[in-house]
Structure 1
Amino acid sequence: MAPLRILLIDNYDSYTFNLYQGIAEVSGGCFPEVVRNDQLTWTELEAHLGAGAYDAIVISPGPGTPAHAGDLGVCRDLLRARPRIPVLGVCLGMQALALEFGGDVRRALCGPRHGSLSPVKHDGDALFAGIPSGAAWPVVRYHSLEVPEASLPACLLPIARVDLPGDQTLMAIRHADLPYYGVQFHPESICTAFGPALLFNFLSCAARFLGKVALEPPVNVPLAGPPGKPPALLHGSGASTSLAPIRLGVVRSEAVDMTSVIARSDLHQAATHIFERLFHGRAGGWWLDSSLQERGGRWSFMGAAGSSSPALGRQAFYEGGGALRLHRGPEAPPERLDLGAQTFWDWLEEDLRQYAVIEDSRAALPFDFCGGWVGYLGYELRLEGRTGNEPPARAPRVDLDAAPPHASLVWTDRFLALDGHTGQLLAVGLYDVGDGKSESGARSDAEAWARQALEEALEAARAGPLPAEASKVADKKISSTAPADPAAAAGLVPREEHSRYLSNIRACVEAMVEGESYELCLTTQLSRKGAPPAWPLYKQLRCNNPAPYAAWLDFAALRGPQVACSSPELFLRCDREGLLEAKPIKGTAPRVPGDPEADERSARELQANEKERAENLMIVDLLRNDLGRVCAPGSVHVPTLMGLESFATVHQLVSTVRGARAKDASTVDCLRAAFPGGSMTGAPKLRSMAILENLEGGPRGVYSGGIGFLSPNGAFCLNIVIRTAVVHADAISIGAGGAITVLSEPEAEWDEMNLKAAALLRTICAVDQETQ
């Protein structure tokens, strides 16, 4: 039979594409058409329905209330028109179905349920074919509002309820005559049992109503569990070699075993000495520093601006308002570009598409990075976008005397790579095949650089720190008494003082009770004028708080910031084969040094904490949605859910979400789909970010964005910018915060924010003491 034509109406939710992926998988390839609830007028949708364009409609979850027309858009018109077409309403969609047929919607009597699992008892309706009833069917709930069963009109039948003492909240309804169904829970959640089965059953009901041949259960798709399986990898969609005007070759040195010249225990300090000798103090110096190998780090990369090719030697600074500044070398005046009708993302897309990497087996790299853009993308880039033919929305123009650019990037065609597992060191060079020299000449230049850089690096490792650096803060832990109040000792003042921060937490909870969000990641900034020296600060930070996604960036020579980052969290990466991966961290508890039993107890309590697990689940579902926008259907999966990882100062719950990038999805498509990282926003993402913008007293800047690389071979990797100090215009700032849920206790959230800032603040104190 012909596949069902399904319309999925998105109510600006952050789980809509989990429904998309789930429907596509269980139907064997019925790819829904996704439209937002204000993308079509009712007149336009009615004409499509009249022409038989769709066989079934799914109304997504979403923030807000069905009583507010703006939260439903065309969904309200659809339900009022009563077309005879199968409809499934999920969460907000079920509430809208009840309200439009005469039922009521109110605040849930049992309180909001955000990321909670509850058993559901059903009446055996065809929607639940093959699904057990009661304790054997736990489902995930994300709702603050409910439909009172007593308010249902005769035409709406209750078909499922929560099965708990004191909680029999209505969980599903169907219309007595029309093929309309509603479920209050989220069948698309990773933790809802038999979610795929429910979606398959709805499509089967739709097929029977339409008189079509019954659907066959899909092969190799477990209807009892969440959609998603390890993907068959798709090759990345980097620019075509035949179309790209700039063709890049890659050379690499032979790998050298650093442990042949220094002890393995000295690798950590040797990396610092190499950076200081080759790149420190140079414009655009950078270091992507995987300084905690046992927690996901392995390869570290380091380099700086500077290239023999004008096509490659660039630094880019996006100042907002469409203003982009390009520098092609230290002597050339900057090029100031007005992006006009383009967004920053459009510019980045065009820039990356102009390059093609020529594969060469002689230069096969044991990692995905081959050069390209390195730097940061700031949080306010979330504002850059466009809708239809409207002028693009912009991140506001920044005053560089007060704040850093929204993005600072350096194009890298020469770098060193150090394997933290084995001690292998190699040098890599990109060369422009068509830069005016013969190809052999350009290649020879890159090979000569690689040989020289490797020699200098080995000499630096043997020799130790430069004399000018030896007198500064040592590359080892500074032992000092931890101050009782690190922020006060470091002289950093929070943007929102204690009472205001608690007030913001309460405002977040109220917004969630009203149904506006499931989770809100509230943050603040701590800052002071008079910054400590940034490079010694980073050296000390990587010793005190090593992290797998640490980084050092130095854009100060061109009015950018210096960034000292010790992030433990991956935002998003993609390898050369097209495998996308995110590793959200949600759930934090302090380490207890010197007391192994208490430390283990702290970890166990974190793993069992309902609030912390709900936080993690909500973000996992959000990231599954974000990856689902750009991944092949059926490929998004979660190999690790709420795994415990322990760092120097905290225990944390870490999950892993993966998917195979679709063939037509570019690097920038992937970033647009997921930026900023959901662990720093909450869900639903768009509504949550709007709420947070009204509460937080200013922009986040570099904090909450991403640091990493974007390679012309289609690979990229960005961290989540947390545990990070930003030095700019003789001021230092750090961001800190936490996820607020309806279970949050304001004082506990204030303490968690301070816990996350403490390691940085102690490091600032130590550097202040050493450099006074």
Structure 2
Amino acid sequence: MCRTLFLAKMNTSLRLFSSELTCPASESMQYTNSSLRVSCFIKKGGGVRVSNRNGRNAKAVVCCQLMHSHKEEESNERKRKLQEPVLVPVKKADFVRTLLIDNYDSYTYNVYQELSIINGVPPVVIQNDDWTWEELCHYLYEENAFDNIVISPGPGSPACPEDIGICLQLLLKCWDIPILGVCLGHQALGYVHGAQIVHASEPIHGRLSEVEHNGCQLFHDIPSGKNYGFKVVRYHSLVIDSESLPEELIPIAWTSSTSTLPFIGSKDFGKFNTHEVQPDQSIFIDPFLAKVGSGSSNQFDYGKTRSARVLMGIKHSTRPHYGVQFHPESVATCYGSQIFKNFREITDDYWLRFRSSFKETHAHSNACMQISSANRLYREVCRSISAENNAVDQLKKIVHADRHLEYNKAEMKHLEMFNMVNTPHATTGSKCLKLKWRKFGHLAGQVGGAKSIFCGLFGHEAENTFWLDSSSTEKGRARFSFMGGKGGSLWKHLMFRLSHQSDGSSKGGGYLSTEDCQGSAETIFLEEGFLDFLNKELQSYHYDKNECEGLPFDFHGGYVGYIGYDLKVECGVKSNRHKSKTPDACFFFADNLVAIDHKNDDVYILAIHEESSSITQWLDDTQEKLLSLNGSVRVALEIQNSHPLTFYSCKAGLAAEKSREQYIEDVKKCLNYIKDGESYELCLTTQIRKPIEELNSLGLYLHLRERNPAPYAAWLNFSKENLSICCSSPERFLQLDRKNILEAKPIKGTIARGATKEEDELLKLKLQFSEKDQAENLMIVDLLRNDLGRVCDPGSVHVPRLMDVESYATVHTMVSTIRGKKRSDVSAINCVKAAFPGGSMTGAPKLRSMELLDSIESCSRGIYSGCIGFFSYNQRFDLNIVIRTVIIHEGEASIGAGGAIVALSNPEDEYEEMVLKFCLELICQRNSFFLS
């Protein structure tokens, strides 16, 4: 079974004794929770350091209770009994229990997914300020709940207490527990022992370097040196100054080259974390592009940069403490899994040696996984993870403690922190829904397609209508479209506004206004916010799965609408700095809808009703209208060509939110934050606006979908709010399908199409092989892997498509696909909360980046950067990212655009890219009000 801190029963309490061990002497070892004070960025020679540090080694007798300081508590008699160790037969553990400390990073759950498989059980995740030092010691040394500790990456500096939290104390005082620090955790290991933290010669984010190492156990079975295939992903602006390393810290790895490398174009791409790709899949790179990249790298600008060799790994000379500057958990790091496997081996070996040092008289003590007090945390984690999880099944077999053990309230307070996602709410008022549907084979083409169907059924008034429009189905990017209007007895309209956004104090509470099909309206205050309300609503619906058999799509009725960007306050952000002019969320409950299968050209009509009702009137009426649409194609043309599109009655011209100079200055602010390690990537946005008096919004949308068809396009009209949304988005935010597979398809990297076929192909290749665009995309892929990793079964998150280039009417884009299997105990809404807003619109780390962007951008993004789509009553959903969208609200039209700012960004180029995106949108509206 598992070995861990060896216990001896003394005076009715669990206590661990140690013989004399050599460890670095440091005044810091006497710090208490109240006395630990580290000043931020104490400058010396351009770097930062900890004062009062020295590198002297001394013998210290240490009591591993460590509740306030290391004290000499052992009596001479006790020490005499430990002088003659007797080897105890032991074996390696079946699993290893890790405490994973999250430094508010967006890659922590990638580490979580790795460790869940390698360790045999999922780690327990806490944020760096969740526990006091006393609480941490309680779980480490009294509950003996963990075998090792991993300290995550994170924004900021180890010199700033707010950035690093409890990690400095842990590295100082827990000398007897294996610890691995990643990136910020690596820097903290150096900093806490006196090394200086300085700015790197240049920030490196989402870019690769080759690494060589000294062959220590952490790099067992990993090649070393230039051209040997050990390529790693780096996300950092600060580094440990190798010249300042104290003698107790040993350098174990460093960059082997002065150049960074692109991901695509590497002949070793097949070695990148192959476990991320399912067995029957591989990372896709077009064979022609791979050939060009491997043999002709000089034809393209890879953005290679020169810098001094950088320290990439350290270890402590006497403690089982290690640090790596790079990110082994990244999808593009070679041998990343092997590093975590090696750390498990280090942990196994450490505890084997530790136990072997005790006399036979202590051999009766149980390994802590065999006693109930050491298993309470993992038994709680076991409750919060799907029973289908193999790692948890293994844990259940090993843990023999009483399943009905009652925890006292104090323990439960701490155990609640381990729930990654709230348990789905129980609801009191359940609703039993019945579904009726009809199919019309090969009808769509016969009646003029999706545009003709929408305009014929809903387009004359177009009020309170929706159209989730897969207007681009090329290469199987999308298959189904859904449309509808004001429906039957279950139809209702919901509008939500956050409260007190302007003062930055709101954390999600707000006012929900609803109106039913009869026109009855009410407004209520939702203390827990809109997403909590929607979660409870979806949980309340019951239905017969047999009624859905034969339907090839997952939306059978339910909520259709949008979630605005500012609802980020319900997903972890502390506050909003700006107030949105538009509602923060608007939805219809659609009980009647039309679906189109573009692949088979079929049309479906669906109606849901409560169990006591059996109304089929809408189905009959809609069937009759559908079958009579043959001669009604002209309706769509009339709407599309109606006179308001030329719009000379606009009250004023186009107004940009930021001038060229202001936007360039904002880019420079972002670059400074990146240089200081506050963010890896910041997705900066702005908007243009134009006042209007009158507009045929649906006609505008029909122009948009014709000139720039997109797989996740949408039309929404909320007449009560005087709000219309014309969306031509090519990007999927998140989908949950009937097989419980979550999928995200972030876009990062855009370039305009060429005027000729040859120019177009060259521009496509330029995008494919751009190191800057690859870095942008990789950072967001790793972020989305993290977001899915919070709610998916361990080991299920993978990347079947990495950095594909997709071509649309006006642009080429770089797109990746991330998938994972949803945990059975997680609700649909909580999947969205784990990932919203979409990482491609925020940057990484997400929380810190959103806070910084709020301080830079001058107004709320509103609907832009949020998501549009459906939540079916069967708990399936599909949502896009709101980009390439015209918002028409209360006499004003607006478009948002922006770009990802990374270390390689040039401020002037970023401004030109933002303008390009605006221009492409405006070109799609040629002859419309924007260019009148």
Structure-2-length-normalised TM-score: 0.73
Which of 704, 711, 732 is 1:541 aligned to?
Answer: 704
Aligned to 2:210: 119
1:7 paired to 2:7: no
Aligned to 2:352: 211
Q: Which has the higher Rg, Structure 1 or Structure 2?
A: 2
Displacement of 1:452: 2.5
- Mapped contact 1:343–1:385 kept (Cα < 8 A): no
Instruction: Give the direction of change, closer, same or farther, for the CA distance of 1:690–1:395 in structure 2 (3 Å limit).
Output: closer
Aligned to 1:248: 433
Instruction: Give the direction of change, closer, same or farther, for the CA distance of 1:126–1:17 in structure 2 (3 Å limit).
Output: same
Query: SS at the partner of 2:927?
Result: helix
Query: SS at the partner of 1:80?
Result: helix
- Mapped contact 2:100–2:151 kept (Cα < 8 A): yes
Partners of 1:589 and 1:417 in 2: how far apart? 33
Aligned to 1:485: none
Partners of 1:261 and 1:80 in 2: how far apart? 74
Which of 451, 457, 462 is 1:272 aligned to?
Answer: 451
1:323 counterpart letter in structure 2: G
1:723 paired to 2:884: yes
- Mapped contact 2:791–2:831 kept (Cα < 8 A): yes
- Mapped contact 1:286–1:552 kept (Cα < 8 A): yes
Partners of 1:500 and 1:93 in 2: how far apart? 36
1:589 paired to 2:589: no
Query: SS at the partner of 1:112?
Result: strand
- Matches for 1:639-718 after TM superposition, within 5 Å: 639-718=800-879
Instruction: Give the direction of change, closer, same or farther, for the CA distance of 1:146–1:665 in structure 2 (3 Å limit).
Output: same
Partners of 2:630 and 2:125 in 1: how far apart? 55
Displacement of 1:241: 12
Instruction: Give the direction of change, closer, same or farther, for the CA distance of 1:636–1:260 in structure 2 (3 Å limit).
Output: closer
Instruction: Give the direction of change, closer, same or farther, for the CA distance of 1:238–1:514 in structure 2 (3 Å limit).
Output: closer
- Mapped contact 2:427–2:539 kept (Cα < 8 A): no
2:704 counterpart letter in structure 1: L
- Matches for 1:429-440 after TM superposition, within 5 Å: 429-433=607-611, 437=612
Partners of 1:516 and 1:239 in 2: how far apart? 34
Which of 517, 520, 524 is 1:337 aligned to?
Answer: 524
Partners of 1:75 and 1:475 in 2: how far apart? 64
Partners of 2:150 and 2:572 in 1: how far apart? 26
- Mapped contact 2:425–2:535 kept (Cα < 8 A): no
1:147 paired to 2:240: yes
Partners of 2:620 and 2:579 in 1: how far apart? 42
Query: SS at the partner of 1:186?
Result: coil
1:589 counterpart letter in structure 2: I
Displacement of 1:207: 1.4
Displacement of 1:394: 6.3
Which of 468, 487, 491 is 1:313 aligned to?
Answer: 491
Displacement of 1:715: 0.7
Q: Which moved more, 1:756-765 or 1:536-545?
A: 756-765
Displacement of 1:256: 2.8
Aligned to 1:53: 145
Provide the identity percentage: 43
Query: SS at the partner of 2:516?
Result: coil
Aligned to 1:88: 180
Instruction: Give the direction of change, closer, same or farther, for the CA distance of 1:140–1:260 in structure 2 (3 Å limit).
Output: closer
- Mapped contact 1:244–1:353 kept (Cα < 8 A): no
Which of 475, 484, 495 is 2:657 aligned to?
Answer: 495
1:292 paired to 2:468: no
- Mapped contact 1:509–1:740 kept (Cα < 8 A): yes
Aligned to 1:522: 684
Aligned to 1:483: none
Displacement of 1:242: 11
Partners of 2:748 and 2:554 in 1: how far apart? 27
Aligned to 1:31: 122
1:561 paired to 2:561: no
Instruction: Give the direction of change, closer, same or farther, for the CA distance of 1:64–1:260 in structure 2 (3 Å limit).
Output: closer
- Mapped contact 1:238–1:714 kept (Cα < 8 A): no
- Mapped contact 2:577–2:854 kept (Cα < 8 A): no
Aligned to 1:228: none
Superposed CA offset, 1:43-90 (max 9, x none): 211222221121111000000011111000111221232431000000
- Mapped contact 1:14–1:626 kept (Cα < 8 A): yes
- Mapped contact 1:571–1:677 kept (Cα < 8 A): yes
Superposed CA offset, 1:202-232 (max 9, x none): 0110111111899xxxxxxxxxxxxxxxx99
Partners of 2:832 and 2:608 in 1: how far apart? 24
2:231 counterpart letter in structure 1: P
Aligned to 1:459: 628
Number of aligned residues: 709
Displacement of 1:171: 0.3
- Mapped contact 2:748–2:814 kept (Cα < 8 A): yes
1:541 counterpart letter in structure 2: L
Aligned to 2:920: 759
Aligned to 1:101: 193
- Mapped contact 2:837–2:866 kept (Cα < 8 A): yes
Partners of 1:355 and 1:472 in 2: how far apart? 38
Instruction: Give the direction of change, closer, same or farther, for the CA distance of 1:379–1:386 in structure 2 (3 Å limit).
Output: closer
Instruction: Give the direction of change, closer, same or farther, for the CA distance of 1:117–1:465 in structure 2 (3 Å limit).
Output: same
Unaligned runs of 5+ in 2: 3-94, 259-306, 357-388, 391-421, 500-508
- Mapped contact 2:314–2:324 kept (Cα < 8 A): yes
2:522 counterpart letter in structure 1: E
Displacement of 1:728: 0.4
Instruction: Give the direction of change, closer, same or farther, for the CA distance of 1:769–1:750 in structure 2 (3 Å limit).
Output: closer
Instruction: Give the direction of change, closer, same or farther, for the CA distance of 1:524–1:567 in structure 2 (3 Å limit).
Output: same
Which of 731, 741, 745 is 1:579 aligned to?
Answer: 741
Instruction: Give the direction of change, closer, same or farther, for the CA distance of 1:182–1:717 in structure 2 (3 Å limit).
Output: same
Partners of 1:150 and 1:768 in 2: how far apart? 63
Query: SS at the partner of 1:601?
Result: helix
- Mapped contact 1:320–1:397 kept (Cα < 8 A): no
Superposed CA offset, 1:488-527 (max 9, x none): 9993221111100000001101100000000000000110
Displacement of 1:240: 11
Superposed CA offset, 1:598-653 (max 9, x none): 00000001001000000000000000000000000000000000001000000011
Structure with higher RCO (Cα < 8 A, 6+ apart): 1
Query: SS at the partner of 1:261?
Result: helix
1:114 counterpart letter in structure 2: H
Partners of 1:475 and 1:520 in 2: how far apart? 41
Query: SS at the partner of 1:211?
Result: helix
Query: SS at the partner of 1:688?
Result: helix
- Mapped contact 1:305–1:315 kept (Cα < 8 A): no
Query: SS at the partner of 2:326?
Result: coil
1:523 counterpart letter in structure 2: T
Instruction: Give the direction of change, closer, same or farther, for the CA distance of 1:757–1:362 in structure 2 (3 Å limit).
Output: closer
- Mapped contact 1:426–1:454 kept (Cα < 8 A): no
Q: Which moved more, 1:623-632 or 1:746-755?
A: 746-755
- Mapped contact 2:196–2:244 kept (Cα < 8 A): yes
- Mapped contact 2:571–2:834 kept (Cα < 8 A): no
- Mapped contact 1:303–1:415 kept (Cα < 8 A): yes
Aligned to 1:484: none
Partners of 1:306 and 1:617 in 2: how far apart? 43
